[in-house]
Amino acid sequence: MTTQTTAPDAADVPAAAAPKGLIGLSEPVARTLATAGGVVSILSTFMSWTWTSEFPGDLTVYGYPGGLQILVLIGGLLTTLFCLASYGVKGLGWLTPAGADAAIKFAALATFATAWYTVIAISDELGGVVNLDPGGYVVAAGSLAALVGALALPFQQPEPDPIDPEDGSWDQFKHRAGHRWETVKAAFSGGSARPVPKLPDYLEILIIVAVLAIGLTVFTYGIGTQYDELFIGFLITAGLGFAAVNKAGLISQASQITARHKNITTCGAFIAAAMFPFTQTDDQYATLGVYILIFATVALGLNIVVGLAGLLDLGYVAFLGVGAYAAALVSGSPSSPFHVHWPFWAAALVGAAASLTFGVLIGAPTLRLRGDYLAIVTLGFGEIFRITANNLDGTSGPDITNGSNGISSIPNLNILGFDFGAQHTILGFTIGRFANYFFLMLIITAIVVLVFRRSGDSRIGRAWVAIREDETAALAMGINGFRVKLIAFAVGASLAGLAGTVQAHVTYTVTPEQYLFAGPIPPNSAFLLAAVVLGGMGTISGPLIGASLLFLIPNKLQFLGDYQLFAFGVALILLMRFRPEGMIPNRRRQLEFHEDAEAPTVLSKAGA
């Protein structure tokens, strides 16, 4: 493995021309300082950080990291490994296919931020720095040294184009075209223009399994954090650690491998998700899991409307409510005026059909509008649905929805003798009520993913993308814009209604207050739209990941009280500032938000 160089050699380049970092240290000293700081941070996690176990996580044990120490250990390992890879250590070159320096900066920042947050939290909660043991001082100094060394590493400037812009010869044109295409490939691959060499299939499948296992571990750890300080540290480490891995080029490498095995990756992702309830000792966190799946499934349905067809729908949560109310009315609730108890498959069809019908009825007179006008109309529909459901109480209107009290006491599902409200033992694991609904919702999610994927790759899916990019041009090419948009509206509404049928049984009660435009807890229209935009419009995994984060983070930040939404809003602003294309963007949107990349003349499957 050859040594990775990050700056010109000092003997060949004048000192004034050598790239500099934020701190005036030479590159060898900076790299050594960052490496030593990472190693010291690792060693400090095996020391005691405080003398009392009153601080959550019991950081008093020598030789055994616990609580926030584990997160600092992970950050220190990333920093050290990236530093060693930058030295050209044999066997570590694969860690930094896009270069090590930027990855070192983010990894060192993750270590520093988590370590100093812990030290400050200990001092604040226990009454001063006197409550720190030697390990607390060591981790503070080590993480600070790693950050100083990382910031002193030189910044890489783009190499200037050696071609004379006034030269119009054919050779110079070919050189420019090749240079620009390399830039485009770099933008597609997250900073590395080098494609991943084709490995044997079994090795690539093992890499996919490893990636999915890491994803399941991170999600399980985040959802299972038992105290507030640990969750904040998890957010710091996970966010900056993801940025470090992305800057190193590992995310790009994994994306290219998974793209070559889409079916295996999709099946593996659902198998990994199905393993989640077996990682829990009780039903506490399976509750969050099933709600996350409901929220994510509805967000994926909205992605058809917003991400593929480009229709801004601000009242989409109403379709979730229509499906939930329709299923609740025919599922045996004593509050239902119909007094019928249909099987789940029939209730699910009723919920999906009711939402589809409302989607067509609302879309038919309004989809001839565009842009802001369409958004205002859909927002009005969402509010009309909520107010109507609140008034159908037998006093202001017919007695159908029981007004603000809603449809209550919805019985648990019983499918083929399997009672979803009872505990079951599977492979020696006890599966509770919410875990049962988690598996059912996972099947619903798989159906929605299949519909989205098949629709996006079909002729109608390409018509949606054409309407989204330029409706006038699409109409000129013979696409029936109204019909295409109405199909998108109807499909998205029916998928939301399908998820609503499960939500009605999970929550036992369906009330109008569950379907607001905006509120502190999702699902609501504002959070659904944010999940699609932040996750990545037009993709499958983007809204699923975005919805998971947007549901999990507010639930875990409830200890902030009145400052919860403020902190959440700041996090969204930062994400949009530094990654406006979303967490999992498609290739076209990635080019739109990066000015240094020039798009090729033709983009195949631009909506992929």
Q: Are 332 and 340 in contact (CB under 8 A)?
A: yes
Residues 277, 286 contacting (CB under 8 angstroms): yes
Domain's final residue, options 151, 182, 198: 151
pLDDT averaged over the chain? 80
Compute how many other C-beta atoms are within 10 angstroms of the C-beta atom of residue 137.
15
Output 193 or 406, whichever has higher pLDDT.
406
pLDDT of residue 592: 59
What is the per-residue pLDDT across 197-211, written as a single tens digit (0 to 9) for each?
677 888 888 988 999
My answer on whether 369 and 509 are in the same domain is yes
194-214 per-residue burial string, b: 16 or more CB within 10 A, e: under 16 = eebeeeeeeebbebbeebbee
**DSSP-based three-state secondary structure for 99:** coil
Alpha carbons 276 and 215: distance in angstroms, whole number = 11
Euclidean distance between CA atoms 593 and 321, whole angstroms: 35
Per residue in 533-568, pLDDT (tens digit) is: 888 887 888 888 888 888 888 777 777 777 777 777
Q: Is residue 3 part of a domain?
A: no
Same domain, 145 and 187: no
- 3-state DSSP assignment of residue 214: helix
Asked whether residue 130 is assigned to any structural domain, the reply reads yes
Asked if the model's pLDDT at residue 179 lies above 50, the reply is no
Q: Which residue has the higher pLDDT, 41 or 52?
A: 41
Listed range (275-284, 373-382, 485-494) with the worst mean pLDDT: 275-284
- Comparing CA positions, the residue from 101, 38, 121 lying closest to residue 74 is 38
Q: Are residues 374 and 511 in the same domain?
A: yes
Q: Mean of the pLDDT values across residues 132-148?
A: 93
Query: Does the residue 7 lie in any domain?
Result: no
pLDDT at 143 over 70: yes
- The answer to whether residue 587 sits within a structural domain is yes
Pairwise CA distance, residues 110 & 38, whole Å: 11
- Please provide the size of the chain in residues: 608
Over 80: is that where the pLDDT of 272 sits? yes
In whole angstroms, give the CA distance from residue 251 to residue 234.
20
| Residue 458 predicted with pLDDT over 50 | yes
pLDDT band at 11 (very low <50, low <70, confident <90, very high): very low
The answer to whether residue 607 is domain-embedded is no
Residue 352 pLDDT exceeds 60? yes
At what angle are helices 433-457 and 284-303 packed, to 10 degrees?
20
Residue 195 has a pLDDT of 60
The answer to whether residues 147 and 177 belong to one domain is no
Same domain membership, residue 476 and residue 428: yes
pLDDT cut 70: percent of the chain above it: 84
CB 68 within 8 A of CB 230: yes
Q: Given a cut of 80, is residue 506 above it in pLDDT?
A: yes
Taking residue 327's Cβ as centre, other Cβ atoms within 10 Å add up to 31
Confidence of residue 280 (pLDDT cuts 50, 70, 90): confident
Q: What is the pLDDT of residues 299-337, one digit of tens each?
A: 888 888 888 888 888 888 889 989 999 999 988 888 888
| Residues 360, 118: Cα–Cα separation, whole Å | 54
* CA nearest to 339, candidates 414, 420, 409: 409
Q: Amino acid identity, residue 27?
A: E
- The pLDDT of residue 591 is 61
Structural domain span for residue 130: 15-151
- Quick check: 186 pLDDT over 60? no
Total number of domains constituting the chain: 3
**In contact, 118 and 125? CB cutoff 8 Å:** no
Mean pLDDT of 98-124: 92
Pick the closest to residue 539 from 568, 321, 547, 443 (CA basis).
547
pLDDT (mean) for 517-531? 75
Range in 242-246, 271-275, 321-325, 414-418 the model is least confident about: 414-418
Question: Are 395 and 355 within one domain?
Answer: yes
Q: CA neighbours within 13 Å on the CB side: how many for 548?
A: 17
517 and 525 Cβ atoms separated by less than 8 Å: yes
Average pLDDT estimate for 576-583:
74
Question: CB neighbours (10 Å) of residue 6?
Answer: 17
Averaged over 9-34, what is the pLDDT? 65
pLDDT of residue 170: 42
Q: What is the pLDDT of residue 572?
A: 76
Rounded CA-CA distance 254/234 in Å is 23
Q: Which of 13-17, 577-581, 604-608 has the highest mean pLDDT?
A: 577-581
Claim to verify: residue 125 and residue 208 sit in the same structural domain = no
575 lies in a domain? Answer: yes
Residue 275 lies in a domain: no
Residue 485's CATH number = 1.10.3470
* Residue 370 located in a structural domain: yes
User: What is the rounded average pLDDT of the residues 597-605?
Assistant: 40
pLDDT for 22 = 62
Name residues whose C-beta falls within 8 Å of residue 211's C-beta, 6 or more positions apart in sequence. Answer: 254, 258
Q: Does residue 225 or residue 44 have the better pLDDT? A: 44
pLDDT of 288 higher than 70: yes
d(CA 455, CA 447): 12
Beta bridge partners of 510: 407
So what's the pLDDT on residue 158?
42
Same domain for 226 and 89:
no
Alpha carbon of residue 85 to chain centroid: 28
Both tokens of 538, joined, read 């037009």
Nearest to 510 by CA among 495, 492, 523: 523
Residue 5 corresponds to which tokens in the numbers above? Answer: 């160089």
362 with 479, same domain? yes
Residue type, 467: I
Same domain, 250 and 379: no
- Regarding whether 309 and 251 lie in a shared domain, the answer is no
Assess contact for 70 and 56: CB atoms under 8 A. Answer: no
What pLDDT, on a 0 to 100 scale, did the predictor assign at position 19? 55
Residue 164 has pLDDT above 50, yes or no: no
Claim to verify: residue 211 and residue 143 sit in the same structural domain: no
Residue 119 has what pLDDT? 94
User: Are the beta carbons of 73 and 114 closer than 8 angstroms?
Assistant: no
